[in-house]
Amino acid sequence: MGLEQFKNRNVGQQNYVMLDLEHTPQTGMGKFRQVVRRTFKAELFVGLWVTMREMINALFRGQMHTVKYPLEKLPISPRYRAIHEMLRLLESGHYRCIGCGLCEKICISNCITMDTRYDENQRKEVSEYTINFGRCIFCGYCAEVCPELAIVHGPRYETASEQRASFSLFEDMLTPIDKLNLQQEYDGFGAVTPNADENIKKTPLAY
């Protein structure tokens, strides 16, 4: 099953058919004729044929709609906003987050908590970073505001937990260093648009 059928939002573009509803007969003869017509009309068999056709479609033409959920899953849109991920720089493998704190500021449910410090090179590094998923409303603002595309939304949507508050640590969300080559670039909310290059302007210093 592909994504295409979910992407068709053009409801209302179909060809609607106006039903030709007949008037209720007034005379006795008219009523009798209606009864006879309805009794001998093959309409009921059309219904039988439709269900049989659907059964054949389902069994022999692979149009079964059931998705056996925990065993198979529907593809989700790249714009889907589920549990966050922290991405790494592809070249160095260092995490992308620069500790700017924008995500913490913008988070409307105050669920991001972070702390930073200077490392030995006087660069900022993240010492604490947690997201309380019991509070997060998955609005996507943090991913949108992040200047480094460091915090993004992943596809993990099965988030049932035993506790109301469930914190996720920086290390949990960070791409594992050995899986770096599998890291997917996020093209959802706040990601670089395909025509981003055209929109780049020179900085004022150049003129």
Partner 1 sequence: MEVVTYTNVETFVQHLPEVTAVGVWIKALIILAVISAIAGFGTFIERKVLAFMQRRLGPMHVGPYGLLQLIADGIKLFTKEDIVPQNANRLIFMVAPIITAATAFIALAAVPVFPDFTIPQWVPVLGGTFVPSIAADLNIGILFVLGMMAAGLYGPLLAGMAQANKWGIIGAARTAVQFLSYEVVTGLSILAPIMLVGSLSFVDFNNYQQGGIADWIIWKQPVAFILFLIAGFAETNRTPFDLLEHEAEVVSGYATEYSGMRWGMFFIGEYANMITISIIAAVVFLGGYSEEGIGWLTIILKVGFFFFLMLWIRAAWPHVRPDQLMWLCWKVLMPIAVINVVVTGIVMMV
Q: Does 12 bind partner 1 (CB under 8 A)?
A: no
Q: Does 51 bind partner 1 (CB under 8 A)?
A: yes
Stretch that binds partner 1, among 60-68, 88-96, 118-126, 174-182 (CB under 8 A): 60-68
Q: What does 142 bind: ligand SF4, partner 1, none (CB cut-off 5 to 8 Å by kind)?
A: ligand SF4
Q: Does 34 bind partner 1 (CB under 8 A)?
A: no
* Bridge partners, 80 (sequence order): none
Binding site for ligand SF4 (CB under 6 A): 97-103, 106-109, 111-112, 131, 136-142, 145-146, 148, 150-151
Stretch that binds partner 1, among 18-26, 44-52, 85-93, 173-181 (CB under 8 A): 44-52
Q: What does 82 bind: partner 1, ligand SF4, none (CB cut-off 5 to 8 Å by kind)?
A: none
Instruction: Give dist(CA 96, CA 173) in Å, integer.
Output: 12
- Shortest approach of ligand SF4 to residue 20 CB, angstroms? 52
- Shortest approach of partner 1 to residue 65 CB, angstroms? 5
Picking from 21, 196, 16, 183, the residue whose alpha carbon sits closest to that of residue 88 is 183
Alpha helices in the chain (DSSP H): 4-7, 28-40, 43-60, 102-106, 141-145, 170-173, 196-199
Q: Does 52 bind partner 1 (CB under 8 A)?
A: yes
Q: What does 90 bind: ligand SF4, partner 1, none (CB cut-off 5 to 8 Å by kind)?
A: none
Q: Which residue has the tokens 């006795």?
A: 28
Distances in whole angstroms, Cα of residue 102 to Cα of each of 67, 118, 159:
40, 18, 25
Picking from 131, 126, 188, the residue whose alpha carbon sits closest to that of residue 154 is 188
Stretch that binds partner 1, among 22-30, 52-60, 105-113, 197-205 (CB under 8 A): 52-60
Own/partner pairs for 92-99, CB < 8 Å, 24+ apart? Answer: 93/177, 93/180, 95/126, 95/150, 95/174, 96/148, 96/149, 96/150, 97/126, 97/129, 97/146, 97/148, 97/150, 97/151, 97/170, 98/124, 98/147, 98/148, 98/150, 99/124, 99/125, 99/126
- Shortest approach of ligand SF4 to residue 104 CB, angstroms? 7
Q: Does 65 bind partner 1 (CB under 8 A)?
A: yes
Stretch that binds partner 1, among 39-47, 90-98, 152-160, 189-197 (CB under 8 A): 39-47
